[in-house]
C-alpha cells in the first residue's frame, strides 16, 4: 500500500508541480524510469501510465516557463550527437522492411531522447545536478536492496527473474551505470550523512551485480573501480577505502561467481556455450554491418535475421554497440558512441581540476566518467538500446559542461587560485 501511495503522490502531485517547476517533474520522470514502481511493488501498484502523465506535465511546464535555457556551452556537442542519432534512426526506419518494428523503436527512443534534451535546457545549477545524481543512485539502490534480501533468504531473484522486464545481464549493467555516482558521493559527499548513504547504496549495488551472475556487469564494476581510483586525488583515506573495498569484495565473492567471471576469458576449448554464442552473435552483427554499412538492416530488425546466421528467430545480438551498427548502420553507431565518448572527453579537464573548475563540478565530472566507462565496456555484452539510466547519467556530465563553460566576455580564473563554489552554493562558501 505504501508503494501505491508513493507512486500516486509522485505521479499526480508531481504532474501539478511540473507545471510550475518543470525540473522537479523531470526528476520524477527519471525516478520512475530508474525505479520502475510497477515492478518495485507489483503486489500493490498496477501497470499504468505514470511516466506518461508526468512527461505530459513536464513538457507543458517546460513550454509555459519559456522552453529552458539553451546556452549549453561545451555540453552542446553531445546533445547534437544525440539528436543526430535520433534523426538517423528515422532515416534508417524509412527503409526498414517491417515498418511496425521500426515505428516501435522510434516511439521508445523519443521517450528517452526528448526528456534528455528538455532536461539539458532546464539545468541551471549544480544543486540540480546533484539531485539528479541522487535520484539515479537511490533508484537503483532500492531494487538492489530487495534483491540482496531475497538472496539472504535463499533465492537469487535477480539472477533467475531479472527486473522490470530485463534479464539479469541487462539490469546488472543498469546498476553499473550508477556505480560511479555511488563511489564519488561516498568519498566526496558534502556531509557525513551523504557519504554514509552513498557508501551503503554502493555496497548494495555492487553485491547485487555480483549475485546477478552477469560477466558483463562484473567487468563493468571493475572498470568503474579502476577509473575511479585513477581519477581520485589519493591519500591514505582513499587508499584505505579502496583496499577495504577490494578485500570485502574478495570475501563476499563465492567460487561460483569467480568461476563464472573467469569463463569469459577462457580459451576456445574451455569456453562455455554462452560465451561462445556471444562471439558468434557479434560476428553475425559484423557481417550485417558489412552488408548494410550506411542505413543498416532497420531498427529492431537484427533479431528477425538471426535464422540466417544459425540462431533462432528473435535472438538478440547480446551487444549494444554492434547491434546498433547492424540495425542503423555505421553512422548510427558512430553517433550514439559519440554521445557518450564526447561527453567523457570534454569532462576530463573538469575532472582533472582545470583552473576554472569548482570542487562540485569536478566531483560530478568524475562520477560521470567512471559510470560511463563502466557502462560502455559492459554494454558490449548485452543488447539494451532502450536502457534509460545511462542517458541520464550522461546528462549529468552535459549539465556539468554547461555550467562549467565560462560565459563569453568573462575572464578565465587565473591558474593557482582555489576553485570557488557557484552562486547557488549555500552561504557562498569557498573550498580549497
Q: Is the pLDDT of residue 162 over 70?
A: yes
> And the C-alpha cell for 322?
554492434
Grade residue 414 by pLDDT with cuts at 50, 70 and 90.
very low
**What cell does 275 get?**
560465451
- Are 57 and 19 within 8 A, CB to CB? yes
Q: What is the DSSP string of 177-192?
A: HHHHHHHHHHHH-SSH
Q: What is the pLDDT of residues 174-219, one digit of tens each?
A: 999 999 999 999 988 888 999 999 999 999 999 999 999 888 899 9
CB 369 within 8 A of CB 351: yes
Separation between Cα atoms, residue 378 and residue 87, nearest integer Å: 26
Q: What is the distance between the alpha carbons of residues 132 and 134, in angstroms, rounded to a whole number? A: 5
Reported as a single tens digit per residue, the pLDDT across 22-70 is 999 999 999 999 999 999 999 999 999 999 999 999 999 999 999 999 9
Q: How confident is the prediction for the chain on average, in pLDDT?
A: 87
What digits encode the pLDDT tens for the residues 75-117? 999 999 999 999 999 999 999 999 999 999 999 999 999 999 9
On whether the pTM is more than 0.85, the answer is: yes
Mapping DSSP to helix (H, G, I), strand (E, B) and coil, where does residue 163 land?
Answer: strand
Give the residue among 180, 119, 123, 139 at the shortest CA–CA distance from 344. Answer: 180
Q: Could you read off the pLDDT of 316-343 as tens digits, one per residue? A: 998 999 999 999 999 999 999 999 999 9
Residues near 322 by Cβ (< 8 Å), separated by ≥ 6? 282, 285, 286, 289, 333, 380
- Predicted confidence band at 408 (pLDDT cuts at 50, 70, 90)? low
Q: Between the ranges 127-136, 244-253, 257-266, where is the mean pLDDT highest? A: 127-136
Q: Rounded to whole angstroms, how far apart are CA atoms 22 and 60?
A: 8
Amino acid at each position: 500500500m505504501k508503494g501505491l501511495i508513493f507512486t500516486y503522490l509522485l505521479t499526480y502531485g508531481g504532474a501539478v508541480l511540473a507545471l510550475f517547476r518543470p525540473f522537479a517533474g523531470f526528476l520524477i520522470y527519471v525516478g520512475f524510469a530508474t525505479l520502475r514502481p510497477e515492478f518495485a511493488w507489483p503486489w500493490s501498484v498496477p501497470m499504468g501510465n505514470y511516466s506518461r502523465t508526468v512527461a505530459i506535465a513536464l513538457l507543458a511546464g517546460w513550454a509555459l516557463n519559456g522552453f529552458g535555457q539553451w546556452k549549453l556551452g561545451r555540453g552542446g556537442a553531445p546533445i547534437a550527437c544525440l539528436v543526430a542519432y535520433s534523426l538517423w534512426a528515422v532515416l534508417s526506419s524509412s527503409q526498414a522492411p517491417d515498418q511496425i518494428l521500426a515505428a516501435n523503436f522510434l516511439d521508445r527512443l523519443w521517450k528517452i531522447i526528448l526528456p534528455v534534451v528538455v532536461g539539458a535546457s532546464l539545468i541551471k545549477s549544480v544543486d540540480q545536478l546533484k539531485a539528479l545524481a541522487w535520484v539515479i543512485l537511490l533508484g537503483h539502490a532500492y531494487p538492489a536492496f530487495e534483491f540482496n534480501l531475497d538472496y539472504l533468504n535463499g533465492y537469487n531473484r535477480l539472477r533467475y527473474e531479472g527486473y522490470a522486464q530485463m534479464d539479469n545481464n541487462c539490469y546488472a549493467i543498469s546498476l553499473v551505470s550508477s556505480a560511479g555516482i555511488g563511489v564519488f558521493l561516498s568519498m566526496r559527499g558534502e556531509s557525513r550523512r551523504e557519504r554514509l548513504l552513498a557508501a551503503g547504496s554502493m555496497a548494495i549495488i555492487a553485491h547485487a551485480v555480483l549475485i546477478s551472475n552477469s560477466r558483463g556487469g562484473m567487468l563493468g564494476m571493475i572498470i568503474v573501480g579502476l577509473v575511479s581510483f585513477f581519477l581520485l586525488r589519493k591519500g591514505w583515506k582513499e587508499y584505505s577505502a579502496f583496499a577495504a573495498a577490494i578485500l570485502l569484495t574478495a570475501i563476499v565473492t563465492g567460487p561460483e561467481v569467480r568461476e563464472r567471471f573467469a569463463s569469459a576469458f577462457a580459451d576456445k576449448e574451455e569456453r562455455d556455450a554462452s560465451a561462445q554464442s556471444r562471439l558468434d552473435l557479434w560476428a553475425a552483427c559484423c557481417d550485417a554491418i558489412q552488408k548494410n554499412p550506411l542505413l543498416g538492416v532497420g531498427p529492431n530488425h537484427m533479431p528477425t535475421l538471426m535464422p540466417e546466421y544459425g540462431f533462432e528467430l528473435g535472438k538478440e545480438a547480446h551487444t549494444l554497440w554492434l547491434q546498433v551498427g547492424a540495425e542503423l548502420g555505421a553512422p548510427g553507431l558512430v553517433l550514439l558512441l559519440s554521445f557518450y565518448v564526447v561527453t567523457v572527453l570534454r569532462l576530463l579537464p573538469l575532472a582533472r581540476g582545470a583552473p576554472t573548475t569548482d570542487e562540485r563540478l569536478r566531483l560530478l565530472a568524475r562520477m560521470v566518467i567512471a559510470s560511463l566507462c563502466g557502462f560502455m565496456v559492459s554494454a558490449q555484452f548485452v543488447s539494451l538500446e532502450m536502457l534509460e539510466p545511462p542517458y541520464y547519467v550522461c546528462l549529468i556530465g552535459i549539465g556539468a559542461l554547461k555550467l562549467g563553460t565560462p560565459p563569453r566576455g568573462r575572464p578565465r580564473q587565473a591558474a593557482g587560485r582555489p576553485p570557488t563554489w557557484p552562486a547557488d552554493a549555500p552561504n557562498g562558501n569557498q573550498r580549497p
